[in-house]
C-alpha cells in the first residue's frame, strides 16, 4: 500500500487506521493469488486502490444505513462485496454481505480473505440462477451483465423495497434506454469517484412492463 493511495482513500471515506490495514492485507492477498486464479486484470494490479477499492467503497455510502443483508452477485475477487464487508466491520457491524461467485477457486479466495480479516460474509459458490431468493436489502454487481439482465437478478434476490447498486461504464445511457424497454424502475445516477466516464446506478422498484 502506498501512503498516497491510503491517504486518498482516507480523505474520501474517512475510515480508521484498522480499516486501512485490512484493505492493505486484502491487497497483499489479491496480489499473491492473482497469478494463479486471475481475480482482476493484471494491468490493474498496480492501481488496486483507485481501480478497485475506491470504485467499490463508493457504493457503501449510497446504500441505506439500516441495511442488514447485502448481496454481491458475481463477486469475482471481491469487488465490490469484500470491500463493503471491510467497511461494514467498522461502520455497520450488523450487515452481512452475501458473496455469490460460481468459480470455486475465486469463492475459496473470498472465503479465505473473509476468515483472515474476520468479516461478516457468507460465500455461496453457486450460480446466481440456482440459489434460493436472498431477500437482500441491497444488491450489487460489477462487470457481470447488461442492466436488463441484472434487473432480473434483482427481481429474484432483492426484498420488496430493496435497493440495487450497479457501477456502469461510459455506455450506461444506452444500457438504461434498453432496460427501460422491458422494465419500469426509479433510477439515480451518481458520478463515479474512480472514473470520470462512469457512474453508479441506484435503482428501486424494478418491475417488468
Ligand X SMILES: C[S@@+](CC[C@H](N)C(=O)[O-])C[C@H]1O[C@@H](n2cnc3c(N)ncnc32)[C@H](O)[C@@H]1O
Beta strand pairing call for 199-208 and 158-168: antiparallel
- Under the criterion CB under 6 A, does residue 102 sit at the interface with ligand X? yes
- Under the criterion CB under 6 A, does residue 84 sit at the interface with ligand X? no
Q: Which of 22, 106, 157, 202 binds ligand X (CB under 6 A)?
A: 106
Q: Which is nearer to ligand X, 11 or 43 (CB)?
A: 43
- Cβ distance 139 to 53 under 8 Å? no
- Under the criterion CB under 6 A, does residue 75 sit at the interface with ligand X? yes
Nearest to 76 by CA among 144, 3, 155: 144
- Under the criterion CB under 6 A, does residue 142 sit at the interface with ligand X? yes
- Under the criterion CB under 6 A, does residue 88 sit at the interface with ligand X? no
Nearest to 56 by CA among 123, 9, 101: 9
CB of 90 to ligand X, least distance (A): 22
CA distance 166 to 187: 11
Binding site for ligand X (CB under 6 A): 40, 74-77, 79, 100-103, 106, 127-129, 142-144
Amino acid at each position: 500500500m502506498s501512503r498516497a493511495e491510503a491517504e486518498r482513500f482516507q480523505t474520501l471515506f474517512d475510515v480508521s487506521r484498522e480499516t486501512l490495514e485490512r484493505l492493505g492485507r486484502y491487497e497483499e492477498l489479491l496480489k499473491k493469488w492473482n497469478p494463479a486464479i486471475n481475480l482482476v486484470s493484471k494491468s490493474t494490479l498496480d492501481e488496486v486502490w483507485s481501480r478497485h477499492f475506491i470504485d467499490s467503497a463508493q457504493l457503501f455510502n449510497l446504500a441505506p444505513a439500516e441495511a442488514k443483508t447485502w448481496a454481491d452477485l458475481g463477486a469475482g475477487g471481491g469487488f465490490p462485496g469484500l470491500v463493503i464487508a471491510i467497511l461494514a466491520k467498522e461502520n455497520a457491524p450488523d450487515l452481512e454481505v452475501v458473496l455469490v461467485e460460481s468459480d470455486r477457486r475465486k469463492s475459496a479466495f473470498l472465503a479465505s480473505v473473509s476468515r483472515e480479516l474476520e468479516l461478516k460474509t457468507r460465500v455461496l459458490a453457486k450460480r446466481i440462477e440456482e440459489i434460493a431468493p436472498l431477500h437482500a436489502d441491497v444488491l450489487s454487481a460489477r462487470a457481470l451483465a447488461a442492466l436488463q439482465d441484472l434487473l432480473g437478478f434483482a427481481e429474484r434476490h432483492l426484498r420488496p423495497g430493496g435497493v440495487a447498486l450497479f457501477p456502469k461504464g461510459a455506455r450506461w445511457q444506452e444500457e438504461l434506454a434498453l432496460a427501460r424497454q422491458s422494465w419500469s424502475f426509479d433510477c439515480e445516477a451518481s458520478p463515479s469517484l474512480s472514473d470520470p466516464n462512469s457512474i453508479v446506478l441506484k435503482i428501486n422498484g424494478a418491475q417488468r412492463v
